[in-house]
Amino acid sequence: QPDDRGLIGDVPVLRVTRRGPEAVHFVPAALEPGAEVLLSLDWERRFDHMQQHSGQHLISAIAEQMFGFKTTSWELGRQRSVIELDTPLVTAEQVEALEKSVNEKIRDRVPVTVRELAADDPEVETVRSRGLPDDHVGPVRVVDIEGIDSNLCCGTHVSNLSDLQVIKLLGVEKGKKNKTNLVFLVGNRVLKSIEQSHSTEKALTSLLKNGPGEHVEAVRRLQSSVKLLQKNNLNLLRDIAVLIARDFKSKPAPRQLFVLHRKEGDSEFMNIIANEIGTEETLLFLTVGDEKEAGLFLLAGPVEAVENLGPRVAELLAGKGAGKRGRFQGKAAKMSRRGEVQALLQEFISQQNPEA
């Protein structure tokens, strides 16, 4: 269970941990020894942990009683909690039956009590436990859910199962070898989850222009439409790439440098142009994406030129890339520097052909 938070006087408690029998509080400012202070607890955090922890005890006990599923570990997360069950499979029907049973116990208002036993008390051996820490000293604490469970535990708990309000089992996930993780919410977390789901439902109703029962089908139709549009867009980009290359090659005096930027292009678009134009004699600098921020680039041309210029182009564009066989391509963080790259390439060509 996560530690508590709060204030010592007006100094916030950042963390609490245990060293043997001592509770060590971490604070950002020194406290005066011997001073009398008011301790203020973050009750919302504490009560949330109480609900989740007592809920875990209840779920673990009933899961073992009903199906023989032993709890091997659990995690109290910030948004949801998980119980690791020592079984490779938990069916949907078992989850449903387990949820129904634990909520019946909540409605029965079963008391939850805490008692202390000496560490050598024989009764300690009769309660559910995963063992004591090696540095434990003093009595041990037993949490009893009347008629349901007795468990060695140092966590904070509710005094009655009715304080849990409700338990929602969200389902199971594959755990470690031959284990299953059971995901759950208790009490106020269930209410918050419903509130969030309702807000999402309202937003989707407004966007999709239909009722909640039709949301899934509407999204399926949208996904299908998007896939078709993406396919059509890709085909158009390929056609445009071929036309751009053919237009360049149709010029009576072929240029030694070809520079092009297209916002909606992709790597395939650039490579099609490079393939169509041919890079034995022409140096190509192609870019796609946002004109001033991030995007993709391709430098293609004679092998020696590309090997020499590729890393320098990537550096100018604040990007990373790699290349082989006359092509160097990668991601660029600063597409606004395309002009500097073009100037570098033009200078390179001028040096290679002084008379040009």
Residues 97 and 168 both lie in one domain? yes
Residues 61 and 175 both lie in one domain? yes
Measure the N-to-C terminal CA separation of the chain; round to a whole number of Å.
Answer: 76
Write the CATH number for 110: 3.30.980.10
Tell me the pLDDT tens digit for each residue of 307-353: 999 999 999 999 999 988 899 999 999 999 999 999 999 999 888 77
Q: Which residue has the tokens 């029907």?
A: 93
Write the CATH number for 335: 3.10.310.40
Q: Which long-range contacts (CB under 8 A, 24 or more apart) does 189-195 make?
A: 189/48, 189/51, 189/52, 189/79, 189/80, 190/165, 190/166, 191/165, 193/168
Average pLDDT, integer, range 72-95: 96
Residues 247 and 194 both lie in one domain? no
pTM of the model: 0.72
CA separation for the pair 211, 204 (Å, rounded): 9
Residues 317 and 338 both lie in one domain? yes
Tell me the pLDDT tens digit for each residue of 47-66: 999 999 999 999 999 999 99
Give the structural domain span for 68. Answer: 44-131+138-205
Domain count for the chain? 3
Phi-psi region of 165 (alpha: psi -120 to 50; beta: other; left: phi over 0): left
Average pLDDT, integer, range 212-233: 93
Identify the pLDDT of residue 338. Answer: 93
